[in-house]
Chain A
Amino acid sequence: MAAVYKLSSVCRRGVHPLLYQSALLARPAAILQKRREPPCLLTARIHSSQALHSGADSKAASMHWTAERVLSIALLAMGPVAYYSPGPVIDYSLAAALTLHGHWGIGQVLTDYVHGDAKVKMANAGLFLLSTVTFAGLCYFNYNDVGICKAVALLWSK
């Protein structure tokens, strides 16, 4: 059910900070101007969402945002480490960080461009599969082959 606000000052005086009020005036009112004009009837719909539910959602989203930035900084730090002290620890760390950074990054791209509940679900499922295969492949490479750091070094020595 939409609540109705009386916006008495929108007509010609700019918007009043009525939004600060939490109480709702339920009656639409006719506002008579001093000048001879038809009374302007102003109503607006506002949306009230369940405070608790949206609080939990926005908290999760906020924490995700922070985690993305922390991971980005960690990945930045891994560059010099991989160059100056290559080895299995940094190989597996890179595998995890690169995969997760890519997973979250593509997740944002999907959020931007894919709409509709079913399509969003399908796209995210596909992404999850892709990221799983990517991580598995990188770990397999680290274990059974030369590893990420060595691979880059070999590629560049060509």
Chain B
Amino acid sequence: MGSTAKEEMNKFWDKNSRLNRPMSPHLTIYRWSVPMMMSITHRGTGLALSSGISAFAAAALLLPGSYPDYLDLIHSLSVGPYLIGLAKFGIAFPVSYHTYNGIRHLCWDLGKGFRLPQVNRSGYAVIGLSVITSVILALI
């Protein structure tokens, strides 16, 4: 009967690419805000963690030997406590941030905390908690 939204969208994009129309600037001109940055960081940490897990899984399938052997290998390089602490922070921060911001997302999904002051406050809470948790985890 009528055309679906999907068909209309495809027609729109087809016409634009056919006529080689330039796209208006967006990310380069729009003013960045803390909620915006936190949102893309949530996505970034998610992608990074997922890649890490996939890489670990692939390594488990492809590399010979067992996990403790590889740990001993790293240990024998004796990289020094600061670098180890840094590496632990590097792992702990994405996990912490993604977890805390994930909880923030779940609160939104329940319909809570949408007013702008609440968004900013919960955002700063997530950042603060993430840093504190990561530092603590890096030290133990």
Residues of chain A at the chain B interface (Cβ within 8 Å): 1-3, 46-50, 54, 69, 72-73, 76, 79, 98-99, 102, 105-106, 109, 115, 130, 133-138, 140-141, 144-146, 151, 154-156, 158
Instruction: Say yes or no: A69 contacts B57, CB within 8 Å.
Output: no
Please, how many angstroms separate the alpha-carbon atoms of A67 and B1 in the complex? 33
Instruction: Say yes or no: A47 contacts B57, CB within 8 Å.
Output: no
- A76-B102 in contact given A47-B8, A49-B2 (Cβ < 8 Å): yes
Instruction: Say yes or no: A140 contacts B2, CB within 8 Å.
Output: no
Instruction: Say yes or no: A106 contacts B68, CB within 8 Å.
Output: no
10 closest A-B pairs (Cβ-Cβ)? A137-B57, A48-B2, A102-B50, A141-B60, A47-B2, A134-B57, A134-B54, A137-B61, A137-B60, A145-B67
- Taking A99-B53, A137-B61, A156-B88 as known contacts, 7 extra A-B pairs with beta carbons closer than 8 A to each other, sorted by chain A number, are A50-B1, A76-B102, A79-B99, A102-B53, A133-B58, A140-B57, A140-B60
Instruction: Say yes or no: B57 contacts A133, CB within 8 Å.
Output: yes
Number of A-B pairs whose CB atoms are under 8 Å? 92
Please, how many angstroms separate the alpha-carbon atoms of A130 and B102 in the complex? 23
**B59: A residues at CB distance < 8 A:** 137
Let me know if B140 is at the binding interface, CB within 8 A.
yes
Let me know if B116 is at the binding interface, CB within 8 A.
no
Task: Return the CB mask of B3-35 against A: 1 if under 8 Å, else 0.
Answer: 111001000010000000000000000000000
- Chain B's closest residue to A65 (CB) is B109
**B interface size (C-beta, 8 A):** 35
Let me know if B37 is at the binding interface, CB within 8 A.
no
Interface of A is mostly: helix
- Chain B's closest residue to A155 (CB) is B71
**B4: A residues at CB distance < 8 A:** 47, 49, 54
**A47: B residues at CB distance < 8 A:** 2-5, 8
**Closest Cβ of chain A: how far from B88's Cβ, in Å?**
7
Instruction: Say yes or no: B2 contacts A133, CB within 8 Å.
Output: no
**Closest Cβ of chain A: how far from B62's Cβ, in Å?**
9
**Closest Cβ of chain B: how far from A60's Cβ, in Å?**
15
Q: Which of A46, A49, A73, A145 contacts B106 (CB 8 A)?
A: A73
Please, how many angstroms separate the alpha-carbon atoms of A145 and B61 in the complex? 11
Instruction: Say yes or no: B67 contacts A146, CB within 8 Å.
Output: yes
